[in-house]
Amino acid sequence: MNRKLIIRILGAILCIEAAAMIPSLVISFIHRDGDTAALALSLAACAFLGCPMLCFVKTDKNVHLRLKEGFIITALGWILLSLFGALPFLFSGVLPRFEDAFFEAVSGFTTTGASVVTEFEGFPRGVMFWRASTHWVGGMGVLVLTLALLPKLTGRSAHLVKAESPGPSLSKLVPKTGATAKILYTIYFALTLAEFVTLMLLGLNPYDAAIHAMATAGTGGFSNYGASVAAFSSVPVEMAVAFFMFLFGINFALYYRFFIGEHFKAFFKDEEFRWYLAIAVSAILAVSLINLSFYQGDFWTSLRYSVFTICSTMSTTGFVVLDYSVWPAASLMIVVLIMFVGSCAGSTAGGIKVIRINMIAKLSRRNIRATGQPKKMEVIRIDGKAVEEGILSQVAQFALMYVALWLLGAFIMSFDGRYDLLTHLTASLTCISNVGPGLGAVGPAYNFAGYGILAKVTGAFLMLFGRLELLPMFILFTRSAWHKY
């Protein structure tokens, strides 16, 4: 194993984390909520550990990163990122227990948005800003950011992006991985800025607008208000946030194609986007019709809540405008199913991903047809192109492992003993899909603060498994990962 290279890249991650803390530190200076020291200390910890790792460890230029190492760096990098990301919460005293701070940081970086914070009044604003920044850094991926900034750090960098980017196969925009990473971050930044400006125009103050823009961009869902987006009680703000949540669930490659001259054709030509749109629209319509009687026949109110909730759940953001756990069971079932699906590959969202659901649907159809005509050769196509059989079987296995891990997570959480089965099942699901709110005691009106340490640690790891799409995390638990060769 190429330890020096691993150490250098982990060092780069810490340096980037230190840089990401700078805006929060500046904000804490401006607002003087007494969290400046905590942020400065955390920043120093990242920088003092990260810089020597990056600058003083010499790596041989001819040694290439191996596939296994790419996965290990990704998994270790994310754990390291979360451990150091927890420091501001710990040092400032808002979350004095380590498991709480770690849970909050993991939830931030994996863009889950499940929180253990109960008291929003008097929460220091610098740390609050850091909480939202973690969404932004984690959304597009910290290794992608590393490669955008330091493309020469390692050869064969495709292994890193592959391990971190969501989706069954990596789609590059331009030949060079480093340049691809730069383009992705440019689009990401531009979209975030667009939302920031939109929210400002709708009357939010710059601080609230920045926090909600970052939380939407990463499809995270941390708000600086206990009531989440409902705190603004403004329909235009809700609709703007819902629209941007939907946008951040789209594959970023499509934006690139949009900008290089394909315009809206880029979106509608893409099969995954068409499925994404179709699922979102039908779920919204179904939920608003089911809820019609619940809202005494007021279709527009029903539609408004349905649009926000479905966009929020499908993009795995987890902002809320109402406690929807009181909705009819059929609507809740739709919300839970949407949690599994998630958004598009190559976006900042979690879940199984629409493209995989699409492939699984086609695979099932083929299997059903094959029972009648076993000799018939049938190729599965996406966007008119044949999909490799190897990828199909990987996708099917991914879905199986996803469900198995979800149930295993719920099983471990159920030992907590405090809550009912619905809570455990949805808590596990909301963690692995990086959504945020579940149902029951972790429903939209509550959060994970009531859980014990076992459930919190389980939840944190489920989030990491979900964000990194299982395999990089699983590989850490294999013996061969730690072999010297």
Interface residue list for another protein (CB under 8 A): 64, 67, 155-159, 162, 170, 172, 174-179, 388, 390
Among 9, 113, 3, 12, CA closest to 437: 113
Inter-residue contact 158 to 117 (CB < 8 Å): no
Pick 72 or 279: Cβ nearer another protein: 72
Give the shortest CB-162-to-another protein separation in angstroms.
Answer: 8
In degrees, to the nearest 5, what angle opens at C-alpha 191 toward C-alphas 444 and 136?
55
Quick check: helix, strand or coil at residue 382? strand
Give the shortest CB-274-to-another protein separation in angstroms.
Answer: 20
Pick 159 or 424: Cβ nearer another protein: 159
Pick 181 or 405: Cβ nearer another protein: 181
Give the shortest CB-77-to-another protein separation in angstroms.
Answer: 19
Give the shortest CB-172-to-another protein separation in angstroms.
Answer: 5
Pick 33 or 271: Cβ nearer another protein: 271
Residue entry with tokens 């929210």: 199
Give the shortest CB-174-to-another protein separation in angstroms.
Answer: 7
d(CA 297, CA 154): 60
Inter-residue contact 217 to 183 (CB < 8 Å): no
Pick 149 or 179: Cβ nearer another protein: 179
d(CA 25, CA 38): 9
Pick 162 or 304: Cβ nearer another protein: 162
d(CA 317, CA 249): 9
Pick 155 or 206: Cβ nearer another protein: 155
Residues 6 or more apart whose CB falls under 8 angstroms from that of 175 comprise none
Among 7, 48, 2, 12, CA closest to 152: 12
Give the shortest CB-177-to-another protein separation in angstroms.
Answer: 5
Helix 3-31 and helix 67-85, axial crossing angle in degrees, nearest 10? 30
Give the shortest CB-201-to-another protein separation in angstroms.
Answer: 38
Inter-residue contact 356 to 271 (CB < 8 Å): no
